[in-house]
Structure 1
């Protein structure tokens, strides 16, 4: 799959390209992203339930780890695969827990939480564009843009979790149909991009949709057969997907280290 994002702005300098803090949006990007979303769903459940940490301790611990990862990520001068994707995994877990806190802890309707997160994301995008005049992930090479970027990413995970739960649980579609429907929506977004649709818009739509897709996949794999799942369990599913993520990120890190030694090639 080719990138779903627009080419670099003509005004972007070679230094800006070199310092971009976000990976190229390739097939590998989407594979890792979907697996991160699944781990966010299954990992949060495993820590809170199977590992016996409970919801409160899991939320506090994962939020602390996310803050630490973001601190390291923001200090990097360019895209560094291991810390970037570690941050995405932690954002996925925390985003899931935010939605679960509203839904399970506070009894907020999934209809309401989905709407609130959608409005909040729209506000983040509106302010981001008003300040920077671009939402392209090809141009995340300033601290302010990166802060906008990670704020949007966290909100997409919370929104995607709420929308996924709304579709599979509140609307009664189930995990299999949820997986089919969100896959279809992503395919339609890709087709729209291929036919000349706005690259930045289709990227962010796909990014949002991969969250409920990953959540539906995670639930399908982990939930008991009596509830419409395959019964693999949160621990084994999380371990499998984390292993694949680590292998893909290690490959990207190796390639990144090699490119860093030969900047003239860029």
Structure 2
């Protein structure tokens, strides 16, 4: 085998082994929380400006198109990955809302349902792949499990956030504060109780959804619902612009020499 062939094989192996998800940094968590807030307010905005059935269908199609593009990509592409996450947030919010608004399922029941669904996904993923680590997302099947998990966590987080804000009467601001406290528990559990990094990551990941959505709702909804009445449309637009700016920073940083 020639040197050129060896180098080509190494490059191909590197592409196959390349992770399709971003490095978990502080900026990762910031963008993740912002996408959850945007998904909440965007879902509400679309449901009010167009027929909810059409809104759900369009969100589903947009998410499916982004997911296909993400799955076809050979490496992690910041703008594509985060576009998919944003659309997961919008579609996941709508999926959870359909159960409550469309079918009349109580938030407590939908929360329990999505908890069971998430546990089932984790069990199947662990059984087949022997790991739930996001650092191992290097094969198509693992990536499919990853995105199925992401969709389920968004739906679960939506149900939990609505449960605390409405059924438990904490309000959106109260819920946001409560989840801000709760999201500090996984890293503390890892440091002081020895909980593993995989468990702490997914626990925090689930909590980002009600955290971001609660504060976004508080900013967007009218005072009668306990909010500041800035409007779900304007809040969605501002969040989109901030997310775009941060993803641009991630893209530039990724292109810097040595990264």
Q: Considering the TM-score relative to the shorter chain, is it more than 0.5?
A: yes
Give the corresponding residue for 2:177.
180
Is it true that 1:32 corresponds to 2:39 in the alignment? Answer: no
Distance in 2 (alpha carbons) for counterparts of 1:231 and 1:59: 24
* CA distance in 2 between partners of 1:197 and 1:26 (Å): 19
Give matches, 1:20-59, under 5 Å: 20-49=19-48, 52-59=49-56
The corresponding residue for 2:58 is 61
Taking the aligned partners of 1:106 and 1:82, their CA distance within structure 2 comes to 35
Aligned to 1:206: 204
How far residue 18 of structure 1 moved from its aligned partner, in angstroms, is 5.8
Q: 1:104 aligns with which of 85, 97, 101?
A: 101
* Partner deviation per Cα, 1:225-253 (whole Å, 9 max, x = no partner): 23211111111111111101000111112
Q: How does 1:105-144 map to 2 (within 5 A)?
A: 105-144=102-141
Alpha-carbon distance between aligned partners in 1 of 2:224 and 2:28, rounded to the nearest angstrom? 34
Query: Where do 1:156-235 residues align within 5 Å?
Result: 156-195=153-192, 196-235=194-233
**Contact 2:179–2:211 (CA<8 Å) still a contact in 1?**
yes
Query: Which ranges of structure 1 fall in alignment gaps of 5 or more residues?
Result: 1-13, 260-264
Instruction: Mark the structure with the bigger radius of gyration.
Output: 2
TM-score (norm 1): 0.89
Gaps of 5+ in 2: 1-12
Q: Which shows bigger deviation, 152-161 or 53-62?
A: 53-62
Residue 234 (structure 2) aligns with: 236
Counting matched residue pairs gives 246
Q: Do 2:15 and 2:75's aligned partners in 1 also have CA atoms closer than 8 Å?
A: no
Instruction: For 2:30 and 2:60, locate their aligned partners in 1 and report how far apart those are by CA, in whole Å.
Output: 24
Deviations 1:89-113 (A, max 9, x none): 0000010000110000000111111
Alpha-carbon shift at residue 131 of structure 1 (Å): 0.5
